[in-house]
Amino acid sequence: MLNIPELTPRTRQLMSELFESDSYLSKQLTDAGCAQYREIVARHLADGTVDSMLAEVKRIPQHCLKPNKKGVIAVDVLERLVYTDYLGLYNCAKARELLEAGETHAIIERLGDAEDGNQECTQLEGLAVPLSEMKDCFRARYHPSWNPTAFMLPTVPNCHHGIRQLMEKEKDSPVDDVQIRDIVYHRFRA
C-alpha cells in the first residue's frame, strides 16, 4: 500500500494530462490488454487510489498478457506495471505542480514498502532532487527512446519512492545535485 499525502486535485489533473499524452504501450500486454489497462488507469487517476486501480487491473484476463523472453507470464506483471506507472505519473505531476508554485527542489522519500529493496532507490531516500529534472521523468529511460542514464523515479519496477515538497527548515540546507547524479548514474560508469 502506498501513502501519498501530497496527492492534490492539481496533482491528479496533471497525472491525467501526462497519461493522456503518453503513447507508450507495454510490451507485457496485448493490444486488447493495453486498451483495457489505459481505460482503467485513466478512470482511476481522476478520483481513485492506486489500490483500487490495482484491484481492477488485476482482473484483466490472462490472455491479454504477453509472455517474457523465456515464454513465462510473470505473476506480478500487472502489479509492477500499476505501481511503476502510478508513481511515475505522480512524481512528474508533483514536480510540475511544485514548479508552478515556485519551488526548485523536492525530497525523495519512500511512499510504500517494496518486496525487495534496491540499492539505487534506497540511496536516494532523503535527498533533494531538482524539480527541473523530475518534471519530465515519466518513462524517461525507455520511452520515447532508450536512455539508460536518464533520471527516472521510480528508478526500477519495484521502487516505491516519490517526492514531497521541502519543509521550511529543509530549504535552508545546501542542496548537492551532483550527489543525486552520482547515485543514479553509478551503474553506468566503467
SS3 85: helix
Question: Taking residues 162-190, what's their average pLDDT?
Answer: 62
At residue 59, the pLDDT reads: 92
Please write the tens of the pLDDT for every residue from 104-132.
988 888 887 766 555 567 777 888 888 88
Could you tell me the pLDDT band of residue 182, with boundaries at 50, 70 and 90? low
pLDDT at 96: 95
- Rounded to whole angstroms, how far apart are CA atoms 177 and 175? 6
Higher pLDDT, 58 or 183: 58
Q: What is the mean pLDDT of residues 58-79?
A: 85
What is the per-residue pLDDT for 1? 66
Start-end of H helices in 22-138 = 31-47, 50-57, 77-100, 119-124, 131-134
Phi, psi dihedrals of residue 136, rounded to the nearest 5°: -125, 30
Q: Are 22 and 105 in contact (CB under 8 A)?
A: no
pLDDT value for 180: 53
pLDDT in tens, 149-159: 777 788 777 78
Cβ proximity of 180 and 153 under 8 Å = no
